[in-house]
């Protein structure tokens, strides 16, 4: 129990970096297509800058990592809160990045220095039972040192709920949309199967270990990005603009496993969860416009992420 409390305190007190360090600067990933750039920008020095065939892979890795980071540790067991039940929870999360320097393009890193060892995110969750072994929930997650916020909802159906001799078992589906950045449109959806069991301790405390397995689907696309923001030709201001190819969630899927422990004492809830997500997917939805070795099939990229979440809450 001491270890649980110590880890909880450490996560809730997770230090933050400088303000704005995690705001996006996607142009630093490089432009996937050829663009026209200038330095003097008086119409006399326009040159063609060839596209970087690896830029799309860097974008896919960064967008997928952000999507996985925004999936919160829900901090809840498989059983529902019941028809009259209600729970409010707060979670502090750490998401450990596994990216190269040039794959993390933010105001803090500029895609030249190492990305932060971990991203800190805060989540507020509200759960409400609606009867019939169903439960609804809403949540909001904020990425520290950025303007990015996700808003989402979940629905849970308990297949086994409240039977003394059996563990609780449920299915959950959730979705969220990330706001706060003009460059990236990021939507995340997922579903999982959950199992848990509640054990009484000393007549006043309940321990609730739980496990989850599911899939995370990440959809990412960009607005038009100025890939040479330091200079612009007034005669042709869009010549240095480009977009990254879309990443569709049905093709961008990640396995996610989680295990956690909740301690319930009266109305108070504290918990700790570890989770891990991994997957290998195409870097874009559309075929390659320029075939590689005669093939238009997009290359693949592998992304994985380890996370730790601490949770506190109140249930009624």
Contact 255, 277 (CB under 8 A): yes
Name the pLDDT band for 16 (thresholds 50, 70, 90): very low
**Quick check: is 249 in a domain?**
yes
Q: What is the pLDDT of residue 2?
A: 44
**Quick check: is 28 in a domain?**
no
Name the pLDDT band for 83 (thresholds 50, 70, 90): confident
Percent over 90 (pLDDT), the chain: 70
**Quick check: is 70 in a domain?**
yes
Tell me the pLDDT of the chain averaged across its residues: 90
**Quick check: is 94 in a domain?**
yes
Distance separating alpha carbons of residues 304 and 284, to the nearest angstrom: 18
Q: What is the pLDDT of residue 47?
A: 84
Query: Does residue 282 surpass a pLDDT of 70?
Result: yes
What are the tokens at 307? 């996370």
3-state secondary structure of 142: strand
Query: Does residue 19 surpass a pLDDT of 80?
Result: no
Q: Where are the alpha helices (H) located in the chain, listed in sequence order? A: 2-12, 55-70
CATH number of 141's domain: 2.40.128
**Quick check: is 283 in a domain?**
yes
Q: What is the pLDDT of residue 42?
A: 73
Q: What is the pLDDT of residue 219?
A: 98
Beta pairing partners, 89:
125, 313
Name the pLDDT band for 189 (thresholds 50, 70, 90): very high
Q: What is the pLDDT of residue 172?
A: 96
**Quick check: is 125 in a domain?**
yes
Name the pLDDT band for 66 (thresholds 50, 70, 90): very high
Q: What angle do CA 259, 265, 266 make, to 5 degrees?
A: 130
The tens digit of pLDDT for each residue in 118-172 reads 999 999 999 999 988 899 999 999 999 999 999 999 999 999 987 888 899 999 9
Distance separating alpha carbons of residues 167 and 165, to the nearest angstrom: 7
**Quick check: is 154 in a domain?**
yes
Contact 197, 214 (CB under 8 A): no
Kindly state the average pLDDT of the residues 94-118: 94
Reference 5, options 210, 288, 268; nearest CA is 268
Range of the domain at 271: 2-16+57-315
Percent over 70 (pLDDT), the chain: 94
Distance separating alpha carbons of residues 62 and 39, to the nearest angstrom: 29
Q: What is the pLDDT of residue 3?
A: 45
**Quick check: is 227 in a domain?**
yes
pTM: 0.91
Q: Classify residue 232 by its DSSP letter.
A: -
Q: What is the DSSP string of 37-104?
A: E-SS-SSS--EEE---TTHHHHHHHHHHHHHHHHS------SS---TT-EEEEEEEEEEE----GGG-
Domain count, the chain: 1
Kindly state the average pLDDT of the residues 45-68: 92
Q: What angle do CA 271, 2, 117 make, to 5 degrees?
A: 65
Kindly state the average pLDDT of the residues 167-194: 96
- Which parts of the chain are beta strand (E)? 35-37, 47-49, 86-96, 118-131, 134-143, 149-160, 168-179, 184-196, 199-201, 205-222, 225-226, 241-242, 253-265, 268-282, 300-315
Q: What is the pLDDT of residue 17?
A: 40
Distance separating alpha carbons of residues 180 and 166, to the nearest angstrom: 44
Contact 148, 179 (CB under 8 A): yes
Q: What is the pLDDT of residue 162?
A: 78
């Amino acid at each position: 129990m001491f270890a649980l409390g110590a880890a909880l305190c450490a996560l809730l007190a997770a230090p933050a970096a400088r303000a704005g360090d995690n705001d996006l600067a996607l142009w630093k990933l490089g432009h996937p297509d050829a663009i026209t750039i200038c330095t003097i920008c008086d119409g006399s020095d326009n040159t063609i800058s060839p596209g970087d065939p690896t830029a799309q892979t860097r974008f896919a890795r960064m967008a997928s990592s952000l999507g996985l980071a925004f999936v919160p540790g829900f901090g809840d067991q498989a059983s529902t809160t019941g028809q009259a039940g209600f729970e409010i929870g707060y979670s502090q999360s750490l998401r450990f990045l596994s990216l190269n320097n040039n794959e993390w393009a933010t105001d803090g890193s500029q895609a030249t220095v190492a990305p932060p060892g971990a991203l800190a995110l805060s989540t507020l969750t509200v759960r409400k039972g609606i009867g019939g072994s169903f439960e609804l929930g809403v949540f909001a997650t904020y990425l520290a040192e950025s303007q990015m916020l996700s808003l989402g909802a979940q629905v849970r159906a308990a297949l086994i709920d409240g039977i003394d001799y059996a563990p609780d078992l449920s299915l959950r589906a959730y979705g969220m949309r990330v706001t706060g950045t003009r460059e990236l449109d990021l939507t995340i959806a997922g579903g999982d199967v959950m199992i848990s069991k509640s054990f009484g301790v000393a007549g006043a405390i309940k321990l609730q270990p739980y496990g989850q397995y599911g899939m995370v689907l990440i959809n990412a696309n960009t607005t038009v990005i100025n890939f040479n923001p330091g200079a612009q030709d007034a005669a042709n201001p869009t010549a240095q603009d480009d977009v990254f190819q879309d990443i569709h969630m049905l093709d961008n899927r990640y396995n996610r496993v989680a295990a956690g422990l909740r301690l319930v004492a009266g109305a108070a809830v504290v918990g700790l969860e570890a989770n891990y997500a991994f997957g290998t997917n195409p870097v874009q939805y559309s075929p390659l416009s320029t075939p590689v070795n005669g093939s238009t099939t997009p290359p693949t990229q592998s992304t994985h992420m380890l996370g730790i979440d601490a949770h506190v809450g109140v249930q009624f």
